[in-house]
Structure 1
């Protein structure tokens, strides 16, 4: 018999929030001040700051994407009442993948303007594809026969959310393939997914 634990959702969300907060904090480490040797005047400092544009792009894309992932994670938990061991492991897998984002962000920032830009962009987009896929797995498990949902579960937009996570997963995979041809275009696709997922609603009446 499966042991459902209603109080575990609060602890899981609190722990997840901590992981998301740490990941966003780690992203700021990509933003470093130019060395004193590279900036000996206001003009040279301005040029040195401009030369770090890959760091700014990688930081902005990663920050906004992690924020939207956290937002949808929060929205999901607002319609979920219970948890079990399997769902907790799925949540752990999500946090594992999210914790890798600072690393792939560093790869993208360091290599996006080099001949190795293709691989760094592919790994970056594939990671987000994996995160979207994990959110899809979590949602499918929680909504299967209304397993973990609050009542009345009929007000939850089950199929809409499922379709949106599936679309985001496929889109990130396609963006990874696009990275082999036009890396910068794949980044624009990633930003478009941020806008798309920000509009996703989990409940028919409530704006969560």
Structure 2
């Protein structure tokens, strides 16, 4: 039975990796070349490329955030050995929300420089808050009474990771609310969160 459960976690991680890869690929559609009518010389091409700065910002934040989500997803599965139906549904919900990132990225890129910038930034950050919330729920479920962890599990940093995911939920929610007042500040918060989440360590003795 244990072998079956372990193979299921491998299948889940492999499937999840595919979804993450597709989502990152879809982000590249935000990077569009200027039309020939808008760029008829080197100077006009440079100016047209500069005017697309919202696309570059949205792409960079979304790419790095998806990468960090994937990295922490991988780290989580390095300390998880077993699975069950409930955990699989949680993982499916995570992938559902991650798959929406290309849409909110497009929304942010198109509207960040318009009067509708506040709502586009708020939806963008609320999505990341939701993703952080699902990761928080997944971690709580997997670690409750060491339910799905590899044994021995004493060196897994259960509480610190739980706290970090909770901080992520609160911070992204704060950024979403702040978007209605200072949308560019919320984007800066998003960049800071990428750095913060990249530092998470799931095991005391091993780098995973």
- Structure 2: distance between partners of 1:143 and 1:38: 55
- Structure 2: distance between partners of 1:13 and 1:188: 30
Provide the aligned length of Structure 1 versus Structure 2. Answer: 205
CA RMSD of aligned residues (A): 0.6
**Any residues of structure 2 matched to 1:177-196 within 5 Å, and which?**
177-196=177-196
**Any residues of structure 2 matched to 1:1-208 within 5 Å, and which?**
5-208=5-208
1:43-98 Cα deviation digits (max 9, x unpaired): 00000000000000000000000000000000000000010000000000000000
1:112-169 Cα deviation digits (max 9, x unpaired): 0000001000000000000000000000000000000001111100000000000000
Q: Name stretches of at least 5 consecutive residues in structure 2 with no aligned partner.
A: none
1:17-50 Cα deviation digits (max 9, x unpaired): 0000000000000000000000000100000000
Q: Name stretches of at least 5 consecutive residues in structure 1 with no aligned partner.
A: none
Superposed displacement of residue 6, structure 1: 1.8
Output the TM-score relative to the length of structure 1. 0.98
- Structure 1: distance between partners of 2:198 and 2:56: 21
Runs (4+) of structure 1 moved beyond 6 Å?
A: none
- Structure 2: distance between partners of 1:62 and 1:182: 19
- Structure 2: distance between partners of 1:61 and 1:122: 14
Output the TM-score relative to the length of structure 2. 0.98
- Structure 2: distance between partners of 1:185 and 1:136: 25
- Structure 2: distance between partners of 1:207 and 1:82: 20
